[in-house]
Structure 1
Amino acid sequence: MLVIPGTTVTPPPTTTVKYTVKSGDTLYKIATLYKTTVAKIAAANNITNVSLISVGQVLTIPR
């Protein structure tokens, strides 16, 4: 990173987000909300059955 005197430095965007599953959520719905894929969310959370998530489960959402 190059910093030029007299300028401000903007930190890079966070690469992951935490999301708590709510009633009615699906991985597809969450993936759509965060503009990612079901496969990426499943991989980041070691989910083998993408149809099985639980209310209250905290997921890591890769960006």
Structure 2
Amino acid sequence: MNKILGLAALVAGAILLYFGYTEYNSHASQVTELVTGNPTDNAIWFLVGGAIAVIVGLGLVLKK
């Protein structure tokens, strides 16, 4: 059961990382970064959430 949850977390993390990457490279994020020096909050949350989900997923899949 943990392996299934781990795989689901890996897939969800990969999807969040993809959305974060595309959000980070969007025009809105680039304009915000030009003005404020920081990318949009959505991009950061997607990237951080995706990284955490991938780490948790790997932990569940590799756990014996």
TM-score tier by shorter-chain length is under 0.3
Higher relative contact order (CA 8 A, sep 6+): 2
Structure of higher CA gyration radius: 1
Judging by fraction of residues, say which structure has more helix. 2
Provide the TM-score with structure 1 as the length reference: 0.23
Judging by fraction of residues, say which structure has more strand. 1
